[in-house]
Amino acid sequence: MATKVVYFIVDGNKEQAEFRSDDSRDDLKETFRAAAEAGPEDILKLYNKKGNLLNISPKLTENTPDTRYTLEVVATHCNEAQKGSHLGVDISMIESRLGQLETRVYVDNGELPAIVKDLKIKVEQFKEKLESVDHLSWLGLTKDISCGTSLKPFWDKSQSHRKTEQHSRLVFEKFRKMSFVQVTDEVRGYLRKPTFDNWQWDDPEMLILLRQMYIDLGFISKFNIEMPVLHQWLYEVYKNYNNVPFHNFKHCFMVTQMMYGLTWLIDTPSLLDDLDILILITSAICHDLDHPGYNNAYQVNAKTELALRYNDISPLENHHCSVAFEILEKHNCNIFRNLPKEQFRKVREGMIRCILGTDMAKHNEILINFRAINNTTKFDFQNKEHKSLLLMILIKVADISNECRPMDVAEPWLECLLQEFFNQSDVEKLEGLPVAPFMDREKVNKSSSQIGFIKYALLPLFESLGELFPVIEEDIIKPVRTALDYYTEMHRALEEEKKKRESVGDMSKQNGITQPSQNKVSA
């Protein structure tokens, strides 16, 4: 059996590992995990001498003791017992002191010691743990809510989960330092696949990958985009995604990554204009800017500032568009500033149309119109109306594409979405507003939430696109059908378990036995 030896450094120690040609990706990761003394849920990153990020896989290139790789543990999971208000810890003070230390180290030495990096990661994760505690604690459950709540009937932008300027600057500084590093061909290829796993990448790395999309699609030269302007635009976009459970910067990245993957999968450059592809990718990046974590139904029912401003018509999507062009109004952030006026007008019209099209209230209308074209006439890529509908369909597919991905990537996203739904429905109950059943933690679980959505929203949309582009069957449609089978089986198992518990309860009543109460089981 052929073997190869890989040399690397971890925590300042020189190590080496021997791999067989039939070792799996998991085998390699476990070996590196053991070398780094990392836990099963810790995230590892491997870099070469140039600082390029390497994919830990059986294709990893054999090296020499003089070209050792660097292995780092970049994220670790905090213990659940660290939940925090009980600890009396002032996280903001720790963050501030750590930020000052980091800034001073950068200025003085230009290199951040590993121990400070590790401390920064742990503080960030601890903060995330605090913020993930049942959100009601942040709404004031410790006070007497019988006399009313401090929640405002209007969405207060200042109260949304906005990133601190300090946090954003730290991310940007890391992004800027990494911008001089070349992305490997292996990562560039992986970036084009629907199986891409976002959970392995941190925010600065995702900013680098967004930049790479613009480079590999030729936008830099075709539209004369200046690299410093692209960097500043990406930074402003990043700042304007809030720390909400689902509609956050990672969601922005994943939607854009799927849009990028579809571009290569269906070969849109051979079918659409360069300007159309620029519209699709840029719209995907901007499509949920400044999302507050509460949907349009809440905006309308609570009579928020956004609902009043936009007359209850797609208030969030209109807001996302508005923020996108507010950013582009800044000269140093305007990636379109070298476009001729007519091209910019087309980009603006296209982006507004695409972003407004992500409102699920318009889902059926857009899908029916697209099907009508496919069923009655041959799709014409030169027809303005046909092409406009296709762009909206493509961004809609990308927006709700999580179930196209491997289950270990998709399922955490579903948990994030349900958390955002539950947060909203809890607030709606406190404010006496209507609550949608699919967002009520007492009425929905993972399986029940997905079965109907996949059957009546995802598959009809994806299959309609598949009629025009059969090439997406294997990578896009088939995984969604697999996901439907998975959640159907999960739901069946839950129903059987529920019937068993009810049967035991009935028998106990008949025999005069009182059973202890059981917690509701949901998956």
pLDDT digits (tens, 9 = 90+) for 210-230: 999 999 999 999 999 999 999
**pLDDT of 404 strictly over 80:** yes
Note whether 202 and 298 are same-domain residues. Answer: yes
| H runs (alpha helix) in 401-520 | 407-431, 446-453, 459-468, 478-510
pLDDT tens, residue by residue, 180-200? 888 999 999 999 999 999 999
Residues whose CB is less than 8 angstroms from the CB of residue 252 and which lie 6 or more positions away in sequence, other chains included: 237, 241, 284, 285, 286, 287, 288, 289
Which own/partner pairs from 1-4 qualify as long-range (CB within 8 Å, at least 24 positions apart)?
Answer: 4/62
Note whether 70 and 170 are same-domain residues. Answer: no
By DSSP bridging, strand 69-75 and strand 3-10 are parallel
Note whether 73 and 187 are same-domain residues. Answer: no
**Which pLDDT does position 53 carry in this prediction?**
78
- Is 421 known as a binding-site position? no
Note whether 63 and 169 are same-domain residues. Answer: no
| Options 247, 291, 319, 320, the catalytic residue | 247
pLDDT higher for 42 or 76?
42
Residue 155 covered by a domain: no
CA 160 to chain centre: 18
Residue 72 phi/psi, 5° resolution?
-130, 145
**Which pLDDT does position 145 carry in this prediction?**
28
Interatomic CA distance for residues 97 and 93, integer angstroms: 6
Note whether 198 and 70 are same-domain residues. Answer: no
The mean pLDDT of 417-444, rounded to a whole number, is: 95
Q: What percent of the chain has pLDDT over 90?
A: 63
**Boundary residue ending a domain (53, 77, 101):** 77
pLDDT tens, residue by residue, 294-322? 999 999 999 999 999 999 999 999 999 99
- Is 118 known as a binding-site position? no
- Is 251 known as a binding-site position? yes
Distances (CA, A) of 107 to 51, 181, 336: 20, 20, 33
Query: Are 75 and 42 contacting, i.e. CB atoms less than 8 angstroms apart?
Result: yes
Residue 30 covered by a domain: yes
pLDDT tens, residue by residue, 356-365? 999 999 999 9
Note whether 51 and 180 are same-domain residues. Answer: no
Interatomic CA distance for residues 49 and 56, integer angstroms: 15
Residue 507 covered by a domain: no
CATH at residue 18: 3.10.20.90
**pLDDT of 512 strictly over 50:** yes
Domain count, the chain: 2
- State the DSSP code for 84: S
Interatomic CA distance for residues 120 and 100, integer angstroms: 12
**Which pLDDT does position 130 carry in this prediction?**
46
CA 157 to chain centre: 21
- Does the annotation mark 363 as catalytic? no
**Which pLDDT does position 189 carry in this prediction?**
96
**Which pLDDT does position 450 carry in this prediction?**
96
pLDDT higher for 27 or 391?
391
Note whether 246 and 354 are same-domain residues. Answer: yes
- Is 331 known as a binding-site position? no
Residue 393 covered by a domain: no
**Which pLDDT does position 255 carry in this prediction?**
98
**Which pLDDT does position 17 carry in this prediction?**
87
Interatomic CA distance for residues 422 and 522, integer angstroms: 14
Interatomic CA distance for residues 404 and 196, integer angstroms: 10
- Is 475 known as a binding-site position? no
Tokens of 236: 């402003």
Note whether 62 and 182 are same-domain residues. Answer: no
- Is 363 known as a binding-site position? no
Query: How would residue 36 be classed by pLDDT, with cut points 50, 70 and 90?
Result: confident
The mean pLDDT of 388-417, rounded to a whole number, is: 97
Note whether 64 and 180 are same-domain residues. Answer: no
Query: How would residue 372 be classed by pLDDT, with cut points 50, 70 and 90?
Result: very high
**Which pLDDT does position 35 carry in this prediction?**
83
Structural domain including 180 reads: 165-358
**Boundary residue ending a domain (77, 106, 137):** 77
The mean pLDDT of 64-84, rounded to a whole number, is: 67
Residue 516 covered by a domain: no
Tokens of 53: 């990020």
* Averaged pLDDT score across all residues of the chain: 84
**Verdict on whether the full-model pTM lies above 0.75:** no
Residue 204 covered by a domain: yes
Residue 303 covered by a domain: yes
**pLDDT of 102 strictly over 70:** no
Note whether 73 and 214 are same-domain residues. Answer: no
**Boundary residue ending a domain (55, 77, 99):** 77
**Which pLDDT does position 57 carry in this prediction?**
81
Query: How would residue 55 be classed by pLDDT, with cut points 50, 70 and 90?
Result: confident
**Which pLDDT does position 133 carry in this prediction?**
40
- Nearest of 343, 66, 25, 330 to residue 195 by alpha carbon: 25
Note whether 223 and 346 are same-domain residues. Answer: yes
- Is 249 known as a binding-site position? yes
Tokens of 338: 């070298």
Note whether 221 and 352 are same-domain residues. Answer: yes
- Is 396 known as a binding-site position? no
- Is 55 known as a binding-site position? no
- Nearest of 118, 135, 104, 15 to residue 73 by alpha carbon: 118
Residue 98 covered by a domain: no
Tokens of 100: 């000052």
**pLDDT of 146 strictly over 80:** no
The mean pLDDT of 501-509, rounded to a whole number, is: 71
Find the Cα–Cα–Cα–Cα dihedral 426, 429, 434, 438, rounded to 10°. 30
- Nearest of 273, 292, 294, 296 to residue 356 by alpha carbon: 296
Distances (CA, A) of 487 to 410, 494, 497, 522: 12, 10, 15, 12
Tokens of 278: 């620029």
CATH at residue 305: 1.10.1300.10
